[in-house]
Structure 1
């Protein structure tokens, strides 16, 4: 390794790069269980006007990449044979598209090489804003990559979206051959930095730069640099005010070389090159002279001091700040079931710590004024420096998460987390990171994490679970527009546009709003609405929000007394039958609340005792065998973060079992007798009783007056065995 042991410098000689890793753990014993404060189905999102879905052509989008352009007010999508331009305001508004298929010659050659017809399309995998009027787009071109420039209008109102056919050129080295191959890229100052497999058979993995300067890449056939990588992300980050010192960071996973034969371990990696690297003059010609990499370690402590590493890096999100030199980097990692088990720290088999003298300039240094200005180009580096860089590409110290643990640790019974976007939100009690996490079944999870420095613990709060697509498919892209407060979520089915918040859905009371703990939302004195840090003093006086603690008792004290909003217990009457089952239905408004049952006896309230006869269920209090002594008034109330509120006051009345047919008729009336299911919902019929009631249904007919009250003669036989008449029948 290039980094000598015991040195105090960071893994790249920097202290500004602080990665935070969000991790998935595949074993439920480690997962922190939790329910969302709000769960919305695809239909509910549409009905509430919170989402729109662009579905594209009938065959599907086969979406490969998305680009959000606030200046053009457009969302650009690269799919199979087609580029789309959608409106950021409404993705379902009139869109524009460019049909860009593979040529007939490309398709024929592709099929001749034994590829499937579906693979021989042009899958657009690289899409960047080239300048103010053009995009750079590259596609697989039926295993013959191509690139082109896309003309845009100078302003968002200009209806220009065309492919410049005279500028179509080879995309080799800029786009992979295989549509299923991983590829990451970033464009900086007209130069494309890309991580990809450059050949047809995916034997040559490389980190490349293409542009105005000379072509630069990693060395071929050197497994010490890249060993069967899967590319995940890339970003350009300036170190300081000197642009010659800008660095390009690559995130990927690769097979480890430093383990015993037969152990197919995979490491998460972060690699770095200097953006201005020209390679060497005699050695490393047109090859990176600044490439170094190290391991990304996100681990969970296990028994006997052995950590389990989450090395399946799925996605990264770079949260930029006003100071571009200090972004926060979030990673989404997974422990695949096939690799489940502890990975103990131990001696390496190929790599050992370098103990000798490190030459100057140090590996990873850029030719810049910040580094002394002795070299104006990497081509001036001494051969000794280039030789050392080539032989020592791996750093000793790994990059670990802030707080040395995952910020989020979840397991959803087989649900896999696939994509990540992060928003930094200002709340009344500080700033919070809101994580939007896509899954493999069309769900977006909206989560915040709260670090407690006193106890050195991390609390995760699952705010919303949004089912953005009708059919469960993996989410492949998530982009966020903080300006518009919208998410743009991509999958093979299309692109969903989703509002990041809809505060009024949490409830109509101050307590509901505070208990939600959503940094976007606050109680404004009348409703749960968007929190704004700047406002009139009159509005600020009534604002209630407590994200860190969710203390509705403190925040909403006195609000209910002022009569602005209140929850009153719903009054209901339920009739039960002795020795039969009966359900007192009461479901908390929030899945995060706990329901408690009290039995009112005069002025006292006694907590209901549960046993093998009386059971608490998520739907209410279930009496498996009702007794006459169970009759009384039951109060259902919820407890959430110490805030108690009544939901229902239910009067339970019972009767002897031998009279239950009579009770049944008295309770629901003859005209509504056909509504067996409604009756059974009220008194929790056993399956046997439900069948018996339904068997009785054909024996009844209805008079005209009864039909007007709800009976339907057409649903009954015309010659019944019995004819009952309602007492009210004239």
Structure 2
């Protein structure tokens, strides 16, 4: 049995697969069974999500005999291509999953028995395997989208070995297999990102499957390589035409999704490359909010944006005019001629039926409707995001935004959409976007930036579980479970909890804890929109806010030194003050003394840098002291001389004496600071076991301090004496 590497800490749970390398390529979160199903390279996993531990089972699923060898003979890579990479995991019925993999460039599918709720069954009949053509792509690196509903599988993919036949397929179920025609008007080198079934109304005959993808834009004219993002749709009950479009989609139409920001001279900056799509489901299943990550394809700069779309705006675009071009020498425009009935793109249902003109299926549609649908798949009006602008824009950042999930959270002053965004460096950003009053300006608040994986690795999937209050983050290395909220990390004061502006958290009178809308706590404090602790925490005395630990840092003259101070809130600005002789001045920053996100860096330390450094944060007009650090500078020449002589080739008679050089360093520090040194060393180097073992050492140092003080008062002239061993070395 293969050993599985499972690691747990306070906020992240990792599953790294056997031998610590999962090669994750498919994820399905089953909230009903409390299980997480994973697909990787030649492997399937089932994780039972318990409150304290995760039991796991696995199925080894390599390509069929001979297929791996055939793949290698065609020139494909044995490690990254000639294996069975599981690309699809979908619930098939109450007891089985549908799993499909690339099968070493010969796609295959199988049914996985997972049992009923409460059971941890995970088996597959290796002999009961069927072809996966049209269900998953041949190449494991090719983009792919799927949706499963009513026993039918809808996929957007490249369906051939060479990756040239881009189609939207419907397979399985009782109806005929459907696909798009091979026509660049319909799909022009598409990259499929997501597919979702979204009902239009209570009539199931009006259910539609929406595909989100990017493609080369034929309407862009002479601008070669222009990429547009599309939303396309087909009717779930489409069965093609009787004489035209036989077994081909007869209801396929598409519209452009626009995500842009105003630029100079009235020219907008467009984010055209779609990266990921998340449907935020609401109580109204017909109207989810569509969250989408976009990137630029410009060579000038790299930027990313998140736009939100309303289903009402998408439907309005599909109900608007069709795009039309008379000929190669004409410009694109809105079609102004007569549109045949039933309108192309609508589903055969009670709405389309009229007295004497009933349409039981798309086979009953007139040929004129099908011909028009074939020649006019594109809508003229694009779909703009809510408020006609992105909710988030990131430019010139050291990572790429790749995945997104969203949770709608109820807070004291309203509902907020918390975005969890995965990057190509293995980090997860927790972000909210706030609209300020009557202004269209969006305030973006980064609540957390969490490094999920120990080694930077691109995040390839994210699944959110409101039930478990967690996000499951997938990467080629493995999968991690991250908590939606970590209120305890926001400090132990009302002001710190309020400044965090996390909709999940509120001050309950004694701690920063999970906000529950129905609880009636007298001391509950929360202010997401303004983050104003002055108003929220009026009953907290100022002395409670500056709970800081005094530290002592020793630096050597002419060397570099770092004073650490990290604000809890990413939005806070930090200033440094230095106190000398009861006078406080702001630290002057230059090339030698630099302020970083982690603290204050002295690239070269001088004697006059000694003093008490105060780290102070400011946010929304609220100021708080985060730390006081006493910087003591040791004379560089003396320390260098001691270190050099210790490292020099001393004779054996002096070796024992040279081992006491640290005593001379301690004497330079001074006996009055010995307790601080012990606390520093304990904090830096002692684990809990050693800390318990050496707990009595601090008291011994205090006794040494008292003895030193008595000796100093007895003979004050010894303060500046030569170190004990130095005179012997000089002989």
- What TM-score results when the alignment is normalised by the length of structure 1? 0.78
What is the CA distance between 1:371 and its match in structure 2? 3.2
Q: SS where residue 545 of structure 1 aligns? A: coil
Q: SS where residue 419 of structure 2 aligns? A: strand
Matching residue of 1:610: 588
- Which of 332, 338, 342 aligns to 1:361? It is 342
Q: 1:571 to 1:188 in 2, by over 3 A?
A: closer
What is the CA distance between 1:528 and its match in structure 2? 0.8
- Which of 430, 436, 447 aligns to 2:420? It is 436
What is the CA distance between 1:382 and its match in structure 2? 0.7
Is structure 2 residue 402 aligned with structure 1 residue 418?
yes
Q: 1:218 to 1:566 in 2, by over 3 A?
A: same
CA contact (8 A) 2:8 2:14 kept: no
- Which of 133, 141, 152 aligns to 1:180? It is 141
Q: SS where residue 54 of structure 2 aligns? A: coil
What is the CA distance between 1:483 and its match in structure 2? 0.5
Is structure 2 residue 127 aligned with structure 1 residue 146?
no
Is structure 2 residue 46 aligned with structure 1 residue 85?
yes
Within a 5 Å distance, the mapping from 1:27-106 to structure 2 comes to 48-58=9-19, 60-89=21-50, 93-106=54-67
What is the CA distance between 1:568 and its match in structure 2? 3.2
- Which of 521, 524, 533 aligns to 2:505? It is 521
Tell me, which stretches of 5 or more residues in structure 2 are unaligned? 1-5, 304-324, 644-659, 674-696, 705-721
Distance 1:457 1:476 in 2: 31
What is the CA distance between 1:243 and its match in structure 2? 0.4
Within a 5 Å distance, the mapping from 1:67-216 to structure 2 comes to 67-89=28-50, 93-118=54-79, 119-155=81-117, 157-165=118-126, 167-216=128-177
Q: SS where residue 525 of structure 2 aligns? A: coil
Q: SS where residue 164 of structure 1 aligns? A: strand
Q: SS where residue 46 of structure 2 aligns? A: strand
Q: 1:583 to 1:410 in 2, by over 3 A?
A: closer
CA contact (8 A) 2:469 2:483 kept: yes
CA contact (8 A) 2:589 2:595 kept: no
Distance 1:104 1:293 in 2: 42
Tell me the matched-pair count. Answer: 631
CA contact (8 A) 1:428 1:545 kept: yes
What is the CA distance between 1:111 and its match in structure 2? 2.7
Q: 1:655 to 1:389 in 2, by over 3 A?
A: closer
- Which of 224, 233, 246 aligns to 1:263? It is 224
What is the CA distance between 1:578 and its match in structure 2? 10
Distance 1:362 1:513 in 2: 55
Distance 2:260 2:52 in 1: 39
Post-superposition Cα deviations, 1:75-120, rounded to whole Å, max 9, x if no partner, equal: 0111111111012237963311111111122223323333222322
Distance 1:503 1:148 in 2: 43
Distance 1:308 1:216 in 2: 41
Q: 1:453 to 1:389 in 2, by over 3 A?
A: farther
Q: SS where residue 71 of structure 1 aligns? A: coil
Post-superposition Cα deviations, 1:613-659, rounded to whole Å, max 9, x if no partner, equal: 9956243496978687x887765432121111233456789999999
What is the CA distance between 1:676 and its match in structure 2? 12
CA contact (8 A) 1:613 1:624 kept: no
Q: 1:677 to 1:289 in 2, by over 3 A?
A: farther
Q: SS where residue 161 of structure 2 aligns? A: coil
CA contact (8 A) 1:671 1:709 kept: no
Q: SS where residue 273 of structure 1 aligns? A: strand
CA contact (8 A) 2:193 2:213 kept: yes
Distance 1:275 1:258 in 2: 28
Q: SS where residue 525 of structure 1 aligns? A: coil
Distance 2:219 2:133 in 1: 32
Matching residue of 1:397: 381
Matching residue of 2:461: 477
Distance 2:418 2:27 in 1: 21
What is the CA distance between 1:168 and its match in structure 2? 2.0
Tell me, which stretches of 5 or more residues in structure 1 are unaligned? 1-44, 683-704, 712-720
Post-superposition Cα deviations, 1:563-616, rounded to whole Å, max 9, x if no partner, equal: 8x543354467899999999876554444322345577999x765373769956
Matching residue of 1:388: 372
What is the CA distance between 1:361 and its match in structure 2? 1.1
Is structure 2 residue 515 aligned with structure 1 residue 531?
yes
CA contact (8 A) 1:582 1:626 kept: no
Matching residue of 1:559: 540
Q: 1:199 to 1:584 in 2, by over 3 A?
A: closer
Q: 1:361 to 1:459 in 2, by over 3 A?
A: same
Matching residue of 1:447: 431
CA contact (8 A) 1:53 1:92 kept: no
Distance 2:634 2:560 in 1: 12
Distance 1:229 1:392 in 2: 18
Post-superposition Cα deviations, 1:352-411, rounded to whole Å, max 9, x if no partner, equal: 321101111112111011334631211111111111111100000111111111111113
Post-superposition Cα deviations, 1:282-314, rounded to whole Å, max 9, x if no partner, equal: 111111111000111111221111112111101
Matching residue of 1:716: none
Q: 1:55 to 1:670 in 2, by over 3 A?
A: same
- Which of 520, 526, 536 aligns to 1:545? It is 526
Q: SS where residue 387 of structure 1 aligns? A: helix
Distance 2:668 2:98 in 1: 61
What is the CA distance between 1:448 and its match in structure 2? 0.9
CA contact (8 A) 1:91 1:497 kept: no
CA contact (8 A) 1:186 1:193 kept: yes
Q: 1:578 to 1:392 in 2, by over 3 A?
A: closer
Q: SS where residue 201 of structure 2 aligns? A: coil
RCO higher in 1 or 2 (8 Å CA, sep ≥ 6)?
1
CA contact (8 A) 1:208 1:215 kept: no
- Which of 616, 624, 627 aligns to 1:637? It is 616
Post-superposition Cα deviations, 1:424-460, rounded to whole Å, max 9, x if no partner, equal: 1111111111111111111111111112241211111
Distance 1:125 1:582 in 2: 51
CA contact (8 A) 2:301 2:396 kept: no
CA contact (8 A) 1:553 1:643 kept: yes
Q: 1:653 to 1:232 in 2, by over 3 A?
A: closer
Q: SS where residue 205 of structure 2 aligns? A: helix
Q: 1:351 to 1:675 in 2, by over 3 A?
A: farther
Matching residue of 1:33: none
Q: 1:453 to 1:281 in 2, by over 3 A?
A: farther
Q: CA RMSD in A?
A: 3.8
Q: SS where residue 345 of structure 2 aligns? A: coil
Is structure 2 residue 725 aligned with structure 1 residue 724?
yes
Is structure 2 residue 496 aligned with structure 1 residue 512?
yes
Matching residue of 1:333: 294
What is the CA distance between 1:517 and its match in structure 2? 0.7
CA contact (8 A) 2:499 2:569 kept: no
Is structure 2 residue 242 aligned with structure 1 residue 278?
no
What is the CA distance between 1:218 and its match in structure 2? 3.9
Within a 5 Å distance, the mapping from 1:595-606 to structure 2 comes to 595-597=574-576
Distance 2:234 2:279 in 1: 17
Matching residue of 1:311: 272
Distance 1:399 1:653 in 2: 62
Is structure 2 residue 257 aligned with structure 1 residue 296?
yes
CA contact (8 A) 2:664 2:723 kept: no
Q: SS where residue 244 of structure 1 aligns? A: helix
